[in-house]
Structure formats: C-alpha cells, structure tokens
Structure 1
Amino acid sequence: MEVALRYSPLLLALPLALAAQTASATVRIHINLASQRMVVTSAAGKHSWPVSTARPGYRTPRGVFSARSLQRIHYSSKYDDAPMPHSIFFSGGYAIHGTYATSALGRPVSHGCVRLSPGHAAQLYGMVRREGARITISGGRSRR
C-alpha cells in the first residue's frame, strides 16, 4: 500500500525562513578608516565606537572579511608580546582587538590592527561569537 504524503506550504517555507533569520543575525561591522569609527549592527542593536587603525607607514587592509578566529586573549609575537584582548582575526595576522591605550582611540596609531576600548572589544567579541560577522573596511587615510 502506498501512502501519499502532503506537505503544507508553511512547512515547506520554514527552512527558508530559518535560513533568512540566520543570515540576518550576522553582526555587521563597518570600519571607516577616514573617520576612525566602527559602526556595529547586530541583533542587539546598533553601536558606533572610535577605533585606531594603521598609522603612517603601516596599513589596515580594506575589503570585506569574515571572522576567521576568535581568541579571548592573544599576545602579539611580532610586537613584544603586546596584549590583544578579545581578538577577532579577519585577515592573516590582522585583528580587531581591545587596547589599553584608550587615549589614542579616534586616531591612526596601530601597526594595522583595528583597536577598540577593552569594554567595546569584549562586547563585540561576545556578539561575533554568538552571531558570526561580516567585516567591511573602507575609506581613505585619516587626516587626524
């Protein structure tokens, strides 16, 4: 005996709806090199934070990236074991991470990484850990 199965259109649409919800849950991070600001949009809301990117003689890569790895605490093997709390690596050795040099935020002073205040770095790290991330870096060199 053969049984005919019928599927409700709602049941068939459920996987698509879940996929769309998952895709929209990704944290969107936009870093503007000219303004030295990061705008973050996530399920938790929208934030705008000052950052520090590459100083003259160094570069912060431009483009669209995803988070490749997250490390709660990382020490730079290239720069005297400098602490990089709440690191979100997005391209080779480049990361978004916390800095204790908060008075320099809003100006380009790094060797290429994107620096944030420790509190904002921890907050961003948690969001990216839960939701994933799409990181966009654009803009010309800051005039600050």
Structure 2
Amino acid sequence: MVARLVRQHELDVRVEFRGFGFQESDDALVPVPFPDDLQWGVFLQGHVRRFDLFSAGHTHTASVTARVWDGEPEDDAGEWEEQAEVDFESVSGEVAVWSSGRGDGLVRLGRGGMWRVRARCKGRAEVERVTRSKGTAWGVERYVIDFWPKAG
C-alpha cells in the first residue's frame, strides 16, 4: 500500500546556537524540555516526547516542511546532506517547534500515539559558510520532516 500524505506544514524555524527541536505541544508532558540535553554535533537526537535537530549554522532561519503520512512514505533519494530516523511519542497529537523558546510553528499529527520520524536536510555547507561570513541566513538550510504512525 502506498502511503498517503495527510497534511503538510511549511515552517520558518529560528535556529539559535545550532539547534532547534520538536516536542509534545503540552510541554508539561515533556520530562526534559528543549534545549536540555541537546547533543552537540548529533544531527537528529530522540528524547522522551521530543526530538532535536543540530544545524550546520549558528544563528539563522531554516525552512522546514513537516509532512504527516498515514503510513511509511517512500524513501526520497534526493540529494540530502543529512538524514536520520527516530521514534517519537505525542500525547496530544500536536507538536510544537522550539529554539530559544516555543516558536509559532505547530505540527498537527491528527492523533496521539507513537510515530516514526524521518528528518532530511540540505543546504548545510552553504548555511555554515553564510552564517560565518554574514552572521545570519534565511531559508538556506532546508529540512523535510516526515511523520507516520508507528506500527505495532
């Protein structure tokens, strides 16, 4: 069966100190909220009801496409500089974006439960160059984050 795209969110995410995260929208349910335990240099790191992404640029705004599927999407073999997968639990079915605080972005999964997440990124080498030379960048680093219900 081919997975069907249920919804898609386009987000501009503020990255500070090379990191940002996605976590359960009800942050009272997150035992260790972002940015605690952010691991330096680890592209995708899972935590309880949260996952973190490590950017190649220090301070900038990344373009993020978050897609929710009804099953595992086909593997997009595009020219990604990084990609990884983690498990993620949502209680409310809504996922908030965090950097120096809670951002405006919200990913609506449609239901709580266990999810699989695949994160991919491109523009890393360029955002590192731009943020070193100019100090900030907008939309240079691009992420695609896929969520699908975890079987079992």
Coarse TM-score class (shorter-chain normalised): under 0.3
Larger Rg over CA atoms = 1
User: TM-score w.r.t. structure 2 length?
Assistant: 0.26
Looking at secondary structure, tell me which structure has more helix per residue: 1
Which structure is higher in strand share?
A: 2
